[in-house]
Structure 1
Amino acid sequence: MTISDGTIAPRNWKSVFRHDVPASLVVFLVAVPLSLGIAVASGAPVAAGLVAAVVGGVVGGALGGSVVQVSGPAAGLSLVVAELVHTYGWRATCAITVMAGLLQLVLGGLKVARAALGVSPAVVHGMLAGVGVVIALSQLHIVLGGSPQRSALENVLELPAQILDNHTHAVMIGVLTIGVLLVWGRIPRLRAVPAPLAALMVATLTAAVSGWDLTKVDLKGGFSSVQGPLMPQGDWHAIAGAVLLVALLAGVESLLTCVASNRLHDGPRADLDRELTAQGVANVVSGALGGLPVAGVVVRTTTNARAGARSRWSTVLHGVWVLLFTAVFAWMIALIPLEALAALLLFIGVQMVNLAHVRNLRNHREMPVYFVTLAGVVLIGLAEGVAIGLGLAALLALRRLAWVSVDVRQAGERRWRIVVTGSLTFLGVPRLTEALRGIPAGAAVELDLHLDFMDNAAFEALHTWRLDHERTGGVIDVDEPHAEWYSAAINGVRLFPARIPPRHDRWWLPWAYRRRSRSAEAGGVGSGSYAVIGADGTRHDDISVLCEPQGMPDLLEGMREFQRRTAPMVRPVLHRMARKQSPSHLFITCADSRIVPNIITASGPGDLFTLRNIGNLVPRADAVPADDSVAATIEYAVKVLDVRMITVCGHSGCGAMSALLGEVPDLPALRNWLRHGRQSLARFVAAEPCDDDAGPLDRLCRTNVIQQLDNLRSHPFVDTLVRAGKLELTGLYFDIGAARVHVLEQERFTPVPELRTG
């Protein structure tokens, strides 16, 4: 589906007539009943809802930032409008709408639209749910033949008495309308007609045929009955607050709908600043013409996209159809029972309490914000409920930012481990000091600081405890795997959270380069700093070499670090594959200590079935003497593990290849083993000289990889699978000094390209 941004070439008019015109008719059929219902719920003239629908479609659609978004009167604003109408009157409310539109124009010009996305979705959804509850409670009284009360709480209290009264015709038409709404969309053949329109048509025809005594919609005079704006009288502080509230609520709802519209099509992405400006223009025009405030509406936007709209012409045309319908068929609208519109609004209000949003918020622990906002809107008021929700969301966000976990465990006799995770601020100092108080004097402590921030109060508390503990003979081993807030504070270095370079877990570093901050006082072990020169010639002065205590083997220390740091993360993965392995590759490489297959392939447990030997040699099937060890590994990988690829990886500066070029050391076993490399040496000697800068040793290392791939094909079961396309053989060459992997392509090695950003 190709969606245009609104610029229609002559050849594309066919697409407009084929896709956008039918979609506009569908949206028009949805917009008319919803606009009427929202106008009734807002306490505004019924024609005001239709004016807003026309302006939202034509003006908002033509100027908006989304090609499929449909604007018009929104149910979420009905409570605000109803309060404004009650306080200032309808014409003054139109003036407030005009001023709100002007404010939106200013905000759009200042390019602040994206700031609206910073509002917590829990507040927005809670607000809409609260509005839905209030609408449903008020309209329920109309469905029952009565009148709504001033507040949601009064509506609840008056509901029992309202139910006990006999309102036969009103109740029947309301039940009929809701029944049609529930059933209509479930019948595939009827879905072509929108359910709201069908419900009002059925209710109107039933009321007319039955002659029931019901209240009809008052639309005398059509658009000519609307009146222009009149400046509101009263406290200008309250009026300014009302303008701000209408502008922000309408703007936020429009922008959130605009963002959601991006998921409905694959055309141009929405321009939020343009959308906010368009909403401002639409509200100025709507208020000036006596219409309701305008905002982007999810229901109509979704309907527009699903109906096949491909340009903004669908939105514009739907406004044109509303205008023509009202001008020509206003008498039909006057036949609609008010109780049927109330039932439609009751249904819409219940749908605004979206359980899917509640489930999503529960996963992010934001349900308190949702329910507090909902309760505030229902019990106090819309503005107050939103303000309370925003305040609670800010407090919870601050709490999450200041969250810290302090885990203290005994790791052995007189040895303790403390893990501090999160943001260590003054708010977490009481918890930290309480946990540290339980460490006995003189104990050895492993202190892991997984921190994204540490303020001065937290540093003072932690450092003071450390000094006191060391005075009692204790030894503290401080490790900061992520950001070195503690070390920086000790050294007087000023750090900013946004400027701290990300640090990864250093599991891949050699033992000699593992950095620890150890106490040099009270018998602690010191650290010596060493400069490391990288492959690009850069000097790195921030790598420290750990001076291990006497008698502490590196292997044992490494295992302890694995158990403490890596095992908890990898344990779930290993648990799932504990009984069976299913690697996809057999990786054959050299026993050289500088080659770590999982690093150069970014693989994990269960990915590679690895075979390592000196020189990454694969003896031929007819080799004498035979080498059952290598053959058994290949056989098991191919026939039992069903690997789909065998990779031979050589490397620069290989000692085995160096021995082949020079003199093999007087090591009998090694001399016998290197006999399997003679084919590689012969192939190297027979090859034509190369123009590359590589020396003889590195050229032999690469030639050796190619030869070992040929040796693999000498095993019949390997060759059969390769010919059948069930097994692939690949060659790699690792340049140690440059930390660069080269892949074999048609007897030549090509560096693997790097992914660059920016």
Structure 2
Amino acid sequence: MAIPLSLGIALASGAPIMAGLVAAVVGGIVAGAAGGSVLQVSGPAAGLTVVVAGLVHEYGWAVTCAITVGAGVLQILLGLSRVARAALAISPAIVHGMLAGIGIVIALAQIHVVLGGKPHTSANESLMLLPEQLSRLNLAAVGLGVLTIAILLVWPRLPRQVRVVPAQLVAVVLATAVAWIGGLDVARVEVPADLLGTHIFPALPDGGWGGIALAVVTMALIASIESLLSAVAVDRMHDGPRANLNREMVGQGMANMVSGALGGLPVTGVIVRSSTNAAAGARSRVSAVLHGVWVIVFVGLAAGLLKQIPTSVLGAMLVMIGIKLVNFKEIRQLLKHRELPLYVITALGVVELNLMEGVLLGIGVAVLFALYRLTRSKMRVEHRGNRWHVVIEGSLTFVAVPKLSRTLAEIPAGAAVDVDLAVDFLDHAAFEALHNWRTTHERLGGEVDIDEIHEAWYHNAATSGGAGRKSAPSRPTYLPWQEGRVAAAPAQQVLGGVREFQQDAAAKVRPYFEQLAEGQSPSQLFLTCSDSRVVPHLITSSGPGDLFVVRNIGNIVPQYREDVASGAGDHSVAAAIEYATEVLGVKSITVCGHSCCGAMKALLDGRGEGAPSCGLDAWLGHGSHSLARFRVDASDRGEDVAAHDELCQVNVAQQLDNLMTYPGVQERVARGDLHLIGMFFDIATAEVHFLDEGSEQFVPVSQMKMNDELAAV
């Protein structure tokens, strides 16, 4: 995949054809060995094509190489300053808008190449000259370009076994073969006779140092942001070590210094090659280094074939790359978050102005958006029964005081009022307005109850005399239903809880659920009891998408030979285990028991033994192994633990053994891909205990050191 892409990017940048191959080699070997992302593959990137083309046009190729070296030095300094994560503070809308603008410029320029002409550096120029190009198009070049695009569109829909070969390679080989067999008169890649002897050393300009400095900063920032965003994206594709972004910045800088010194294009982390690397099963940075080595080998073997590649084929590939940079999936996400205008403004700025000015325009608009949202608040008044309700959301600042005064003026004098204050900031002017209205309303016989949903801004200001000070949340996240709802009908209890979720928590968790809407990838299977006092997400501090939870009476795992092989019994637990291990690919299975378990008390009372008389007895029959194990170890049991709690702990250990009767679990544990964890939750003390495999005892987490915690899992 790397060779045709590198050739196409060099062609679109107006650089020597060898420059793309040098960048591919250096990006693989230098950035792969020195960078902080183990699976990221680096090389010449389409995102810098517009910048490089402009620099080549203005300064020439030798000076552009010197700019690349300078950008590499700046990247190293930024990495050593440990500011890499600051680059991720730039809004994704700006980054994707920048890439979309670059994609539009690339596509417009390369359409001319597909039609048999030459590319243009300006998007406006490309559009204005398109009718003239259509009037003198080369039908052979157009045919090869259409063939290339067709292959790139159809190839991802073919069976997986076929898609092992990259679509770009297939498109270049087939289109080149058609051109060669048919003897078509089309422009081809211009390869010097001595490919390796065309090295151009960097050269300093005669003047214009201000423009050179701006070019160095522009190239360094764009290359860094693209590389860091790619590294973060690659981290989501594998389970290996996470990327060290500062080291990645240094590695990218070293690669740019070497590439520029050797006459190569600027280097960045490339998401297309990196995702291919991760999908192929790579495990270490050796894969990225070998990518560079293989480019050298294949260029050495196929240098004579490169000059047979029609430029319209590479142009068609770049048209597709440009179109893909306009990410429609990302546009939908930005539309949901109301950030599409920022994306569009940045993209148009890149197209109509230039890349740096377009990005600066996007940042400026983003700051204005942030200021607007900071001063924006939502207010509504509702009349329910004999009380008035005022709901205020957002940031309550001096700008919102007129709107706040108009809203509160709707409430008649002497009325009972509930004010739901769900704000993330309250400044002094807004506090004074609200507080003065409250004291006046109460003085005239009214009643005002201010309920702060998230943080006690108003309370702190009223008691300390100052506003704008953040406090702890007014109530914990997990609490039983409020006393006012206990006496209500069950349906009303649930409805009240749902309404509280919609009002308080839904806005906070909505971004996480949007990311999870297309699928789940939990790393843990958590098997626990159905007891209402055990809340898995509470005791593990986990959230949506983290745990695949299975609950049943007594946290029991029926043995495989009983539950599946015989075809009898309840298959729900077996199905969940197989789905979690074979489809979701979880990395661990936790069996969590708890104190005062009703199922264990029932086992001690003889339920589950003999012929079952009901569904509960039949299910508890699966606990016979735990009960037998408990009776065997009765002599070792201490007197400080209740019998049913001791059985609870024995039951956890037995269920771990039962898990090992499942062939899939046994195989993955043997490979080291799956870990089994035993856990016991003491309800009275809210203390979690882990089963230590060495001593076969449950140890409280509060008494465990880090090494003990690692050993437990």
Q: Is TM more than 0.5 here? A: yes
Query: Match for residue 582 of structure 2?
Result: none
Query: Match for residue 273 of structure 2?
Result: 300
State the shift of 1:703 in Å: 14
Q: 1:172 to 1:751 in 2, by over 3 A?
A: closer
Of 607, 614, 619, 1:725 maps to 619
Distance in 1, matches of 2:191 and 2:459, equals 75
Query: Match for residue 197 of structure 2?
Result: 224
| RMSD after superposition | 3.9
Q: Does residue 388 of the first structure (1) align with residue 361 of the second (2)? A: yes
Query: Match for residue 154 of structure 2?
Result: 183
Distance in 2, matches of 1:557 and 1:267, equals 51
State the shift of 1:184 in Å: 3.8
Distance in 2, matches of 1:258 and 1:226, equals 31
Q: Does residue 169 of the first structure (1) align with residue 140 of the second (2)? A: yes
Q: 1:322 to 1:646 in 2, by over 3 A?
A: closer
Query: Match for residue 451 of structure 1?
Result: 423
Q: Does residue 488 of the first structure (1) align with residue 460 of the second (2)? A: yes
Distance in 1, matches of 2:276 and 2:600, equals 61
Residue identity matched to 2:145: G
Residue identity matched to 1:215: A
Distance in 1, matches of 2:487 and 2:376, equals 34
Per-residue CA deviations over 1:726-756 (Å, capped at 9, x if unaligned) read 57999xxxxxxxxxx9993247999345257
Residue identity matched to 1:347: M
Distance in 2, matches of 1:92 and 1:239, equals 9
Q: 1:356 to 1:557 in 2, by over 3 A?
A: closer
The answer as to whether partners of 1:481 and 1:506 remain within 8 angstroms in 2 is no
State the shift of 1:707 in Å: 8.4
Per-residue CA deviations over 1:278-316 (Å, capped at 9, x if unaligned) read 000000111111111000001111122223323222221
State the shift of 1:261 in Å: 1.4
Distance in 2, matches of 1:93 and 1:704, equals 75
SS at match of 2:644: strand
Q: 1:470 to 1:87 in 2, by over 3 A?
A: same
Summarize the alignment of residues 259-408 of structure 1 with structure 2, pairs less than 5 Å apart: 259-408=232-381
Query: Match for residue 110 of structure 1?
Result: 81
The answer as to whether partners of 1:481 and 1:504 remain within 8 angstroms in 2 is no
Q: 1:302 to 1:165 in 2, by over 3 A?
A: same
Per-residue CA deviations over 1:640-689 (Å, capped at 9, x if unaligned) read xxx96499xxxxxxxxxxxxxxxxxxxxxxxxxxxxxxxxxxxxxxxxxx
State the shift of 1:46 in Å: 1.0
Query: Match for residue 744 of structure 1?
Result: 644
State the shift of 1:708 in Å: 8.4
Q: Does residue 72 of the first structure (1) align with residue 5 of the second (2)? A: no
Of 194, 200, 209, 2:172 maps to 200
Q: Does residue 88 of the first structure (1) align with residue 59 of the second (2)? A: yes
Of 460, 464, 487, 2:436 maps to 464
Q: 1:224 to 1:496 in 2, by over 3 A?
A: farther
Q: 1:333 to 1:742 in 2, by over 3 A?
A: farther
State the shift of 1:245 in Å: 1.0
Q: Does residue 754 of the first structure (1) align with residue 695 of the second (2)? A: no
State the shift of 1:159 in Å: 2.1
Distance in 2, matches of 1:270 and 1:502, equals 37
Q: TM-score, normalised by structure 2?
A: 0.71
State the shift of 1:376 in Å: 1.7
Distance in 1, matches of 2:123 and 2:351, equals 6
Q: Does residue 48 of the first structure (1) align with residue 24 of the second (2)? A: no
Summarize the alignment of residues 429-448 of structure 1 with structure 2, pairs less than 5 Å apart: 429-448=401-420
Per-residue CA deviations over 1:380-400 (Å, capped at 9, x if unaligned) read 221122222223333334444
Distance in 2, matches of 1:743 and 1:424, equals 57
Unaligned stretches of 5+ residues in structure 1: 1-29, 515-553, 573-583, 588-597, 605-642, 648-701, 731-740
The answer as to whether partners of 1:98 and 1:286 remain within 8 angstroms in 2 is yes
Per-residue CA deviations over 1:471-491 (Å, capped at 9, x if unaligned) read 433222222243221121122
Q: 1:384 to 1:280 in 2, by over 3 A?
A: same
Q: TM-score, normalised by structure 1?
A: 0.67
Q: 1:294 to 1:585 in 2, by over 3 A?
A: closer
Q: Does residue 503 of the first structure (1) align with residue 434 of the second (2)? A: no
Per-residue CA deviations over 1:438-462 (Å, capped at 9, x if unaligned) read 1122222222222332111110111
Distance in 2, matches of 1:190 and 1:715, equals 57
The answer as to whether partners of 1:713 and 1:719 remain within 8 angstroms in 2 is no
The answer as to whether partners of 2:36 and 2:246 remain within 8 angstroms in 1 is yes
Distance in 2, matches of 1:326 and 1:34, equals 13
Q: 1:337 to 1:398 in 2, by over 3 A?
A: same
Taking only the aligned residue pairs, the percentage that are identical comes to: 48
Of 107, 112, 119, 1:141 maps to 112
The answer as to whether partners of 2:460 and 2:469 remain within 8 angstroms in 1 is no
Residue identity matched to 2:400: G
State the shift of 1:68 in Å: 1.6
Comparing 394-403 with 353-362, which one deviates more in the overlay?
394-403
The answer as to whether partners of 1:446 and 1:476 remain within 8 angstroms in 2 is yes
Distance in 1, matches of 2:9 and 2:289, equals 21
Distance in 1, matches of 2:149 and 2:8, equals 14
Q: 1:496 to 1:410 in 2, by over 3 A?
A: closer
The answer as to whether partners of 2:455 and 2:471 remain within 8 angstroms in 1 is no
State the shift of 1:191 in Å: 3.1
The answer as to whether partners of 1:644 and 1:728 remain within 8 angstroms in 2 is no
SS at match of 2:392: strand
Per-residue CA deviations over 1:553-594 (Å, capped at 9, x if unaligned) read x999999x989975623799xxxxxxxxxxx9998xxxxxxx
The answer as to whether partners of 1:742 and 1:751 remain within 8 angstroms in 2 is no
Which structure's CA Rg is the greater one? 1
Comparing 259-268 with 293-302, which one deviates more in the overlay?
259-268
Distance in 1, matches of 2:203 and 2:469, equals 52
Distance in 1, matches of 2:289 and 2:462, equals 65
Unaligned stretches of 5+ residues in structure 2: 504-527, 538-550, 556-595, 627-640, 650-680, 689-700, 707-713
Q: 1:727 to 1:356 in 2, by over 3 A?
A: farther
Comparing 270-279 with 382-391, which one deviates more in the overlay?
382-391
Task: Count residues in correspondence.
Answer: 564
The answer as to whether partners of 1:452 and 1:497 remain within 8 angstroms in 2 is no
Q: 1:89 to 1:137 in 2, by over 3 A?
A: same
